Amino acid sequence: MNMLRKMTIASALILGFAACSDDDNNGPNLDPVNADQVVNLHAPQETDYTQNPPTASGAFVRFSFATGTTTTSDTEWDIAFRGTTILVNGGASTGITEEPVRTGDAGVYLVDDTFANVTEVNTSGFAQDSADGLALATGSGNGWYTYDPSVMAILPTPGKVLVFRTNNGRYAKVEILSYYKDSPAVITEDIALSDLRYYTFNYVYQPNDDVTLF
């Protein structure tokens, strides 16, 4: 075999390997999963205790996982907060005063586990708000929190992870850490009555379509 033929074969092998390598890298370019913490998201409400039962009012604070911030958009929100109530942008009106109109396909379910252990979405587990009630129930022990009557405090229940489908079909998981301003380690009665309705939570957002892993 002459030198020119050896060089031709070697060149062909190199070009062929490069072509195969390019083909192998032609998969989808996925956006990175976003893990972050929201601190002191204020979700105020007015409560009329002269009514039986007491009634709540005030605008809901809307939040977008895609931007990691609150939003005033009527459509690009995923969840909304007022007091201990959390709505999803999916389903139908529940009849709560001043609730935003739902324009998306958001849903939620609860997992009893640690935040780190929730690594995959159960796509058949989601519930949405409806005339029958909230997808994420309120009341002590019913959803994300427990009420401590000794100091009148709302305490996130340990081991409760909220998994959300967003308004446009992506996914997020949330761990609520505190309901009080600056997340005090000890909740006294004074704090419980004055610095409440400030959410601090960890979240992980999966921004890629049809990807169910965190």
Enclosing H/E stretch for 38: strand 34-42
Q: Please state, in angstroms and rounded to a whole number, the distance separating the CA atoms of residues 143 and 90.
A: 18
pLDDT tens-place string over residues 14-64: 333 333 334 444 457 999 999 999 999 999 999 887 888 778 999 999 999
Q: Which two tokens stand for residue 177?
A: 């850490």
pLDDT band per the 50, 70, 90 thresholds, residue 8: very low
pTM, two decimal places: 0.85
End-to-end Cα, the chain, rounded Å? 56
Rg (CA), the chain: 24
108 half-sphere exposure, CB direction, 13 A CA radius: 23
Is residue 165 scored above 90 in pLDDT?
yes
pLDDT in tens, 104-122: 999 999 999 999 999 999 9
φ/ψ of residue 153, rounded to 5: -110, 145
Domain-by-domain residue ranges, the chain? 34-206
